[in-house]
Amino acid sequence: MLDQVRFGNEISYLRKKRGLTQNMLANKLCTQALISKIEQGQVLPGIDILYELSIRLKVPLTSLIKKLIYERQDYYDLLFYDLDLLLYNKSYDEIITICKSELNRKMLPKIRQNFCRFYTLAQYYLKKLTAEETLKKLSEMIESNIFYHHYMEDVLHNDIANIYVDQGSYFTAQSQFEEILAEQKECLEFNAFKSKVYYDQADAFYRENKYKNTLETINMGIQHSVNMHYMMYMSDFYKLRAKVLENNINNREIHDISKAMSNIFCSLYCPYDSSDAPLQYIKVIRSQKVHS
């Protein structure tokens, strides 16, 4: 199965990562219009263009082909996306119900392991598993070397770090977060995932009452999210920042924070809104009106 949109998003991400315009990428290879259509998922490049794109974007040809040739697992991708949202919203009972139903089916080991991950985390947060039991299960998943996607090991390490945070073992947790954030991977999905890691690390500093570290990590997370055009955790960053600053700054600055958060929600959930909310949000970031 070919996924042109997924492939186009990857080409667009890698091009921007290399600091190239569409014209620069197309130079003496094809037209800028073709690159635009490829990135929009409207057309597929021929093998000769695909090969040249891999050279110019400095990635293996096989990596681009894997993005293009998509296994028939769209059902599981959508389901795991839903499970991620349920985990984010702390809907643990629903996660357990879904996982129990799915684990009765025949499936590939890598898919089964991902369901087991969600099931294990839900059990822990519902206090049906101890921290020790949960850490053991997650560590065994890492040792199995069977992963749903290529950065799944990082996801599991982040899960482990969050368990340590929940248990008050902040130093151990921070070392896990730092290892993940230090990794450099030419992958859109992994770099979007790093926004969550920044938030989890900032939240850990906050729980430890290390407010300066919290604000520094929030700033890095916000900048990373802006660079990635990934807004999933942006409102969480600003909510956490407001919690840190509410007893230390004046009302005007609180207003600026609230306004920035409001603009984020508008840009996320009102894409056809005619107001200048997204523009105002960017102005807040660039002018550093919201500061530590």
Tokens for 179, please give them. Answer: 């290892």
What is residue 286's predicted lDDT score, i.e. its pLDDT? 43
Sequential DSSP letters for 57-102: TTS-HHHHHHHHB--S-HHHHHHHHHHHHHHHTT-HHHHHHHHHHH
Tokens for 180, please give them. Answer: 């993940």
What is residue 283's predicted lDDT score, i.e. its pLDDT? 44
**How do residues 233-272 score in pLDDT, each as one tens digit?**
888 888 888 888 876 655 556 646 655 664 555 455 343 3
Q: What is the band of 194 on the pLDDT scale with cuts at 50, 70, 90?
A: very high
Question: In this predicted model, which residue has the larger pLDDT, 163 or 246?
Answer: 163
Mean predicted lDDT score pLDDT of the chain:
83
* Residue 258 three-state SS: helix
Q: What is the band of 1 on the pLDDT scale with cuts at 50, 70, 90?
A: low
* Residue 194 three-state SS: helix
What is residue 270's predicted lDDT score, i.e. its pLDDT? 41
Report the range out of 25-34, 69-78, 96-105 with the highest average pLDDT: 25-34
Question: Residue 206 pLDDT > 90, yes or no?
Answer: yes
Tokens for 160, please give them. Answer: 């482990």
| Calpha distance 186→197 (Å, rounded) | 17
* Lowest-confidence segment of 69-73, 151-155, 194-198, 202-206 by average pLDDT: 69-73
Q: What is the band of 185 on the pLDDT scale with cuts at 50, 70, 90?
A: confident
148-167-219-259 Cα dihedral, nearest 10 degrees: 100
* Lowest-confidence segment of 21-30, 76-85, 90-99, 282-291 by average pLDDT: 282-291
Inter-residue contact 138 to 120 (CB < 8 Å): yes
Question: In this predicted model, which residue has the larger pLDDT, 101 or 126?
Answer: 126
| Calpha distance 43→39 (Å, rounded) | 8
Quick one: average pLDDT of 196-212? 96
- Dihedral sign, CA of 65, 9, 237, 87? negative
Question: Residue 140 pLDDT > 90, yes or no?
Answer: yes
What is residue 5's predicted lDDT score, i.e. its pLDDT? 78
What is residue 209's predicted lDDT score, i.e. its pLDDT? 94
**How do residues 41-72 score in pLDDT, each as one tens digit?**
888 888 888 889 999 998 888 778 877 765 44
What is residue 8's predicted lDDT score, i.e. its pLDDT? 87
Question: Residue 285 pLDDT > 70, yes or no?
Answer: no
